[in-house]
Amino acid sequence: MDRNSYASKIVLLLTFAVFVGGSLIGQTAGKVRGTVTDESTGEALVGANILIDGTDLGAATDENGEYFILNVSPGTYTMRAQLIGYAEDVESDIRVYIDLTTTVDFSTSPEALEGAAVDVVARRALVQPDVAGTVINVSGGDIENIPVRSVGDFISQQAGVESGMVIRGSGINETAFVIDGISTRGGRDGTPTTAIALTSVDELQIQTGGMSASVGNARGGAINIVTKDPRDRMILDVLINQTPAHNMSFAEGAEIVKDDDAYWWKPYKDENMNSAGADGGAWDKYFKGQYPAFTGWDCTHGRHNRRRCNTNQI
């Protein structure tokens, strides 16, 4: 292999890694954009600093007063705009969704002296301009407030999703299931692995129609999950489930297990069987095979402790 061919393959591999890595990041994070203007004149403010509280993310406005912040983890944030000579403007309760763009505009007024920050609660747009289909976005906190035991149970309760995570009538093997940018569908039958702790979910997105080109090999829908960031301390999550008391039975109207004549209970309650087994009674061949002759308690104890049975015992 000549050097030129080897170098070309290395460049092609690096290019592929960059594009694939970028697509995975895009599926687990969102974007924030907006403008900063003068409240009285409406003019764009150049050089204003936009900060996201609790993170190291931020941006500065360009000559048009616009800014863009990429790769923002999904969640609820507080943002602030700062510019020398202007009052600080704060926007709170801002939701960032997976693979979507959130618009946050700031408007502030000149302030020669230090003034108090202006708090504004963000408003969610009724129509998302960058969403072409049916998308459901749910935060991890909302999921924990719903009485479900697993991620699959929560997904099956959403509109357009049937029991077993069946979307739009398609099987579960026709649904894309992505966790932190990695597909969990099996290569043999396409069934996804959904064994993820309910309390580990930070953001969950369900697409039931109009999927983008980034979702491949899926006909029913797409489920995208972003897990929580690593914590700096040990935290124990406990899920408690209560099942109401009920009679033990195989089906409605069927034989109750606790009945003395029930198939599973009879060998222990019947005086003709609980000491000698079924071999000594007038039982049919199948019944005798199910319950062999009683060989004594010592032998039973020894069999469970890997000792030989002494048949000459009571």
- Give the least confident one: 48-62, 91-105, 295-309: 295-309
Indicate whether 28 belongs to any domain.
yes
pLDDT of residue 23: 47
Residue of 195, 158, 163 lying closest to 179 (CA atoms)? 195
Residue 234 main-chain phi, psi, to 5 deg: -80, 130
Tokens 């829908």 map to which residue? 221
Check whether residue 201 and residue 255 sit in a common domain: no
pLDDT of residue 80: 93
83 or 220, which is more confident:
83
Check whether residue 190 and residue 150 sit in a common domain: yes
Indicate whether 240 belongs to any domain.
no
Indicate whether 129 belongs to any domain.
no
Check whether residue 166 and residue 139 sit in a common domain: yes
24-32 average pLDDT score: 71
- Please report, rounded to a whole number, the percentage of residues in the chain having pLDDT higher than 70: 60
148-170 average pLDDT score: 79
pLDDT of residue 20 exceeding 50, the answer is no
State the Cα–Cα distance between residues 140 and 92, nearest whole angstrom: 19
pLDDT of residue 7 exceeding 70, the answer is no
DSSP-assigned letter for residue 195 = -
- Which stretches within the chain are classed as H helix? 3-26, 140-144, 151-156, 266-269, 285-290, 297-304
Check whether residue 86 and residue 27 sit in a common domain: yes
Residue of 71, 130, 122 lying closest to 92 (CA atoms)? 122
What CATH number is given to the structural domain containing 214?
2.170.130.10
Encode 99-109: b = buried (16+ Cβ within 10 Å), e = exposed: bbbbebbbbbe
DSSP-assigned letter for residue 26 = H
pLDDT of residue 186 exceeding 80, the answer is no
Domain boundary among 93, 121, 149: 121
Residue of 67, 60, 124, 58 lying closest to 93 (CA atoms)? 124
State the Cα–Cα distance between residues 170 and 11, nearest whole angstrom: 40
- Please report, rounded to a whole number, the percentage of residues in the chain having pLDDT higher than 90: 16
Indicate whether 243 belongs to any domain.
no
Q: Computed from CA positions of residues 14, 19, 25, 27, in that sequence, does the dihedral angle turn out positive or negative?
A: negative
Token readout for 62 is: 């360009």
Q: Which domain holds residue 166?
A: 134-227
Check whether residue 11 and residue 94 sit in a common domain: yes
231-245 average pLDDT score: 75
Q: Computed from CA positions of residues 163, 166, 170, 171, in that sequence, does the dihedral angle turn out positive or negative?
A: negative
Provide the domain count of the chain: 3
Token readout for 77 is: 């944030």
Domain boundary among 100, 121, 142: 121
Indicate whether 233 belongs to any domain.
no
What CATH number is given to the structural domain containing 80?
2.60.40.1120
297 or 86, which is more confident:
86
305 or 231, which is more confident:
231
Check whether residue 254 and residue 290 sit in a common domain: yes
25-51 average pLDDT score: 87
Check whether residue 34 and residue 94 sit in a common domain: yes
pLDDT of residue 300 exceeding 50, the answer is yes
Position 293 confidence tier, pLDDT thresholds 50, 70, 90:
low
Residue of 165, 128, 119 lying closest to 30 (CA atoms)? 128
Tokens 């906190």 map to which residue? 141
Domain boundary among 194, 227, 260: 227
Q: Computed from CA positions of residues 183, 186, 190, 192, in that sequence, does the dihedral angle turn out positive or negative?
A: negative
pLDDT of residue 51: 94
Check whether residue 42 and residue 74 sit in a common domain: yes
Check whether residue 147 and residue 172 sit in a common domain: yes
SS3 state of residue 28: coil
Q: Give DSSP secondary structure letters for 249-288.
A: BSSTTS-BTTSTTSTTTHHHH-TTTTTTBSTTSS--HHHH
Check whether residue 23 and residue 68 sit in a common domain: yes
What average pLDDT does the chain have? 75
305-309 average pLDDT score: 61
pLDDT digit string, tens, across residues 190-215: 777 777 777 788 888 888 776 766 67
Indicate whether 18 belongs to any domain.
yes
125-132 average pLDDT score: 60
Indicate whether 68 belongs to any domain.
yes
Residues facing residue 36 across a β-bridge = 106
Check whether residue 167 and residue 219 sit in a common domain: yes
Residue of 136, 135, 137, 142 lying closest to 198 (CA atoms)? 142
217 or 26, which is more confident:
217
pLDDT of residue 165 exceeding 60, the answer is yes
pLDDT of residue 60: 93
pLDDT digit string, tens, across residues 92-115: 999 998 888 899 999 998 876 555
Check whether residue 94 and residue 141 sit in a common domain: no
163-181 average pLDDT score: 80
163-168 average pLDDT score: 79
CB count in 10 Å sphere of residue 276? 14
